Amino acid sequence: MEPLNRRHFLRTTATLAGATWLTPVGQWLARAAETSPGNSPAKSVIVLWMGGGPSQLETFDPHPNTKIAGGTGAIKTAVKDMMLAPGLEQLAEQMESVSLIRSVMSKEGDHERGTYTLKTGFRPDPTVTHPSLGAVACHELPTDKSEIPRHVSILSAQWPARGGFLGDKYDAFLMDDPAGPVPDTKSYLPKDRDTKRLENLDVVERAFAKGRQKRVGETLHRDTIAGALKMMSSEQLKAFDVSLEPYSVRKTYGDTPFGRGCLAARRLIEVGVRCVEVTLNGWDTHANNHKFCTDNLKILDPAFSGLLKDLRTRGLLNKTMVLCMGEFGRTPTINPAGGRDHWPNGFSMAIAGGGIRGGQVIGATDPDGKQQPTDQVKVGDIHATVLSSLGIDHKKLNETPIGRTVKFTEGEPIKALVG
């Protein structure tokens, strides 16, 4: 018999609770079984990228009634003693599924370098370009017969996720507001002329390949053409089209490009996309910090909470890691322009789904803004946590094109989240 433990108990009793599904106890048991750590690995990652570096004090780590708060208060959440900044009221209701890391440590306070660090888990290195989380997921996980790119970046910022030493084919496919068409997927030529062009291209390619088969094969040119043509005719492209969703669903996410991006992310992972990055810019608040944060939270709150609710309703939350983070945080002090400056020494991010334990707070920052945070978490530890939840060996050694061996991350999984 399987040893009696919390996970086994929850799974068994949730099954037996089928007859009482509408009761509060039945609902709690099913929810607990769904979010209980240690289930089968997650399959996808959604990264909500807060471009510019969001202030932790106005988002996930408020310190009300302190000097560093600058007047920002706090609101209660569904988890006792876990507070969020005002403006995240809808997300507050979902915090049983979300854990907050309030002690993320980085050594990079520059936008480009900080972005590289958070997206790859490594500081920039002139000798190697590291792959992003999404690139690693696409490289290591099965394709599941996906006919569209398995790594997608929506509303991409200046530095989208890259494939690094794994190769350019793992770069994120760039997409603008899902209210518009998918770029470069419709030919502007009549069908017969388009067909004739492809036939002519085939003649030229076959002639060029004579005596050069190995070199031609190494370019992957034909594979690229074939993949592009398959994508252009694929039914899976409809996953980008959020207008196919009922109005009630679209309304939940908010009528904004970012909200539509989060909805498209959910639709994309349903057809086999491994990683979707959705960007919300505007967090570089060197001036008017409070106003810009308030405006951004009006966009983030419905989109983030709507995504979590939608994933849970469809039984996808336990199979999907959701991260909300930026390249660094903001200073505890407010500058003369009413802004907060770059702060990589103890900032916050939110993580949910993928079997991690929700309703937790990892680390704590000093309410006076002078001491180092407790229970510090390195960026590499976040990557190790996500990769482990995906069933990927985060310590796997890889060989770069120049023969250098590099791990996917130097960090270790956060035990409080994954056990």
Walk me through the domains of the chain, giving residue ranges and CATH numbers: 40-178+241-418 (3.40.720.10), 181-239 (no CATH)
- Give the least confident one: 25-29, 103-107, 188-192: 25-29
**What's the pTM value of the predicted model, to 2 decimals?**
0.87
Terminal alpha carbon distance of the chain: 22
Q: How far is CA 72 from the centre of its chain?
A: 27
**Strand (E) positions, 189-285?**
275-280
Average pLDDT value for the chain: 89
Residue 11 pLDDT class (50, 70, 90 cuts)? very low
Sign of CA dihedral 234, 236, 242, 248: positive
Provide the 3-class DSSP secondary structure of residue 371: coil
The pLDDT score that the predictor gives to residue 126 is 92
**What's the whole-number mean pLDDT along residues 378-382?**
98
pLDDT greater than 50 at residue 317: yes
Sign of CA dihedral 126, 128, 129, 130: negative
Amino acid at 337: A
What would the mean pLDDT of 114-129 be, rounded to a whole number? 96
pLDDT higher than 70, residue 220: no
Each residue's pLDDT tens digit, 355-367 = 999 999 999 999 9
Angle between the 221-232 and 191-209 helix axes, to the nearest 10 degrees?
Answer: 160
Structure confidence at residue 17 as a pLDDT band (50, 70, 90)? very low
